[in-house]
Amino acid sequence: MKSFLFVLIFSVTIGANLLAQPFNDKQRFRVMSYNVENFFDSQRDSVVKPTEFSPVGIRRWTYSRYLAKRNNIAKVIAALGGWTPPALVALCEIENQQILENLTLHSPLRNLHYRIIHFESPDPRGIDVALLYQPKLFKPLHEEPLRIRFPDSPHHHTRDILYVTGTTQGNDTLHIFVNHFPSRYGGELESENSRLFVASILRHKTDSLFNANPQSNIIILGDFNDYPDNRSIAYVLNALPETCSIRPHQLYNLFYTTHTTKKTGSYKHDGEWGVLDQIIVSSHLLQDTSGIHTTVSSGKVFAPLFLLENETKGFGEKPFRTYIGMKYHGGFSDHLPVFVDFQDGNHNTPL
């Protein structure tokens, strides 16, 4: 309990001046996405898990390092929430259900009572996506993994898209898609077709929702391994910049402007910030006449000082990561979290 109170007080202290909130805590329905960088347990009990993530592997992934990683993730989630925990937490690069249970039940997060939605995926690296949710703020109605099957490469596997439907306290239905698109390993252009295909699967699903209900409340989030102006996001998924006029049946990327300004981002490559981690919403969520809604300026990168370190070359800061190559560095992740605040209709969330 003492450790949780320390994290909570710490988070409120940094959050008071760091996070500009469009809604007060009693109205807020905060959604966050975080690529936690290879959150594996330290046991060699997985057929899929890379052998380097074990105490005898090249990374020397010991139990003490695992616990430090677990508590770091808990610290980030608590800090991003402040007094009111994030309602939904999308996680990328987690190994299995066991570490999620350990995170929610045995870390400082245990007092926040998060529930877990997770499915094992066929990803060759053994990493999945997951969704944590506050049961007082969100009630799941349906959950399923959208399996990705590449037609020209039947043996090419990647992470599933996690699809969850549920209702808020204001009785609004949300359609949540948690993504971790195929990586750029082997080259951006060489790997692009995989991301284009996954984006087409996602777009087909959202089109079906729009056809069934033009006012569908859709939230798409995760690590896309592409930027908001890349083809998979801007053309296939057709997520428009948040500055465009709001039209029915349309998706809007709340991090497009953040990416184009280059002043901050969720990921830093060759000394330049970019936004691989994004939150995309349907047009109905940008109308303040609807129940749950947000604003076009609500997309934020969470970048407190404890998640950053100084650049070794050049100026500025970069994410304080867990590993640099195969060398243990002891930080949090090579990505920064992103989040969006919604107002849950006229409902006031109890503290």
Tens of pLDDT along 327-343? Answer: 999 999 999 999 999 99
Bin 16: left if φ > 0, else alpha if -120 < ψ < 50, else beta.
alpha
- CATH label of the domain that carries residue 276: 3.60.10.10
Question: Is residue 101 situated within a structural domain?
Answer: yes
Model pLDDT for residues 53-89, shown as the tens digit of each residue? 888 788 988 999 999 999 999 999 999 998 899 999 9
* Residue-level pLDDT at 23: 57
Q: How far apart are alpha carbons 7 and 310 in whole angstroms?
A: 23
17 in a domain, yes or no? no
Residue 212 within any structural domain of the chain: yes
Q: For residues 221 and 279, is the Cβ–Cβ distance under 8 A?
A: yes
- Full domain range(s) for residue 114: 28-344
pTM of the model: 0.91
User: Does residue 330 belong to any structural domain of this protein?
Assistant: yes
Task: Label residue 182 exposed, middle or buried (CB < 10 Å: 0-12, 13-18, 19+).
Answer: buried
pLDDT higher than threshold 60 for residue 298: yes
Residues 90 and 339: their CA atoms lie apart, in Å, by 10
- Classify 174 in phi/psi space as left (phi over 0), alpha (psi -120 to 50) or beta: beta
Q: What angle do CA 104, 106, 109 make, to 5 degrees?
A: 45
**CA nearest to 134, candidates 118, 113, 119, 117:** 113
Q: How many domains does the chain have?
A: 1
d(CA 249, CA 246): 9
Closest CA to 206 of 237, 243, 168, 245: 237
Residue 193 has pLDDT above 60, yes or no: yes
pLDDT > 80? residue 28: yes
60, part of any domain: yes
Is there a domain that residue 9 lies in?
Answer: no
Span of 98-112, 237-251, 310-324 with lowest mean pLDDT: 310-324
pLDDT over threshold 80, residue 154: no
pLDDT of residue 205: 98
Q: What is the pLDDT of residue 17?
A: 42
pLDDT > 50? residue 351: no
Among the listed residues 190, 213, 176, 168, the one whose alpha carbon sits nearest the alpha carbon of residue 33:
176
Q: Is residue 171 part of a domain?
A: yes
